Structure 1
């Protein structure tokens, strides 16, 4: 195994067969010791967070496979906190795609003059550039195309997949009496250039509430998987 990249919450290894191994860590994003799925720094370490995130990710990727939604998922090993995935090429230096069902987090900070906290949103999709130095700025469809990061056609697919995936997650959570406020996803191209979901789907990249109370990632995994 060849170490390719050490990330904030996962390390990435290249396998001899050409696939990739993701090793989940117990580090989560946040600031000043407080978890925040939208933060671009590691805020704290939670024992067991890596395995918890992997269990959730495996659960949701298997749900997406049943619906024939393209992802990079191949298999997972919970005991080793690792997941084997297909090789993917990221868009530019990496994009994050957020689907929002309520006005919270950075959306509220930016547009608070026009909305109230927790105001319902209709699966609003926004794309941000992964760039820690510039605080992951949002970027428009036209800018993405003009900068050569992805084509207009790819953007349409990206937006469609984001809504489909987010609604699958939202419905699964709703069945447990939970409400998805927002979720952060990542996409890349497969070996044939098709857009597919990459990275993870876990409590670490979504905000979930129950009866108005925020549910932490570790508690969320217990509520979903028992």
Structure 2
């Protein structure tokens, strides 16, 4: 198959019938060997992370399908660490949407003068542009509309879907005694122009804690799916 794009944590291949094949890698984002879902660089390689991420993603995408939330998921092959998905039209060069339940990471760096680490947040949604050179700058609804990236109606849909999806993940984790601090999601448009969740939902794109201690991606998958 033709390689379309080689990303930090996945390779993207052209598949049949206009679909796309994602190959999950063992790389995760972070800095100086420390995992960080908000980082713009590959920080470390964790053996088995690709399959682990795919298992979690498959679990959540199938659960979202049961309740009618649209995603690009078609099927997965755990042995090959690949996922077949619908082709999606990106918003600009891509957006990252973060739903925050506690003040950590870049939120704390920006707003730490007004809150302490770990302050509870009410599903705070923020959008950033995928732009490594500019360190993924945050952008608001007006900025997205004026730059022609996302209409105001699409923005409202984006926020609604983000909160719905994040709530599903949060509740699944709570059932296992885990707490979701924040999660990073991505969206695109299907062939009919409808918004859908794309990319993945795995330990590599969320911060999860248990009894006040950070849970690493591989351990998270084991705790959730055991």
- TM-score normalized by structure 2? 0.99
Q: What are the equivalent positions in structure 2 for 1:64-75 lying under 5 Å apart?
A: 64-75=64-75
- Point out where structure 1 has 5 or more consecutive residues left out of the alignment: none
**C-alpha distance in structure 1 between counterparts of 2:18 and 2:144, whole Å:** 29
Partner of 2:164: 164
Q: Which runs of 5+ in 2 are unaligned?
A: none
- How far apart are the structure 2 equivalents of 1:202 and 1:89? 22
Q: Under a length normalisation based on structure 1, what TM-score does the superposition of the two structures give?
A: 0.99
Question: Partners in 1 of 2:215 and 2:49 — Cα distance?
Answer: 14
**1:55 aligns to 2:49 (yes or no):** no
Shift of 1:18: 1.2
Task: State the shift of 1:17 in Å.
Answer: 1.8
Answering whether residue 115 of structure 2 is matched by residue 115 of structure 1, we say yes
Alignment partners' CA distance in 1, 2:141 and 2:212: 33
| Corresponding pairs, count | 226
Structure-2 residue corresponding to 1:138? 138
User: What is the DSSP-based 3-state SS (H/G/I as helix, E as strand, rest coil) of the residue aligned with 1:136?
Assistant: coil
- Following TM superposition, the consecutive aligned residue runs of length 4 or more in structure 1 with deviations greater than 6 angstroms are none
CA distance in structure 2 between the partners assigned to 1:180 and 1:35 by the alignment: 16
In structure 2, the partner of 1:78 is: 78
Equivalent-residue separation in structure 2 for 1:93 and 1:84 (angstroms): 21
CA RMSD of aligned residues (A): 0.4
* Counterpart for residue 44 of structure 2: 44
Question: Which residue is 1:177 aligned to?
Answer: 177
CA distance in 2, matches of 1:15, 1:85: 9
Aligned partner of 2:149 in structure 1 is 149
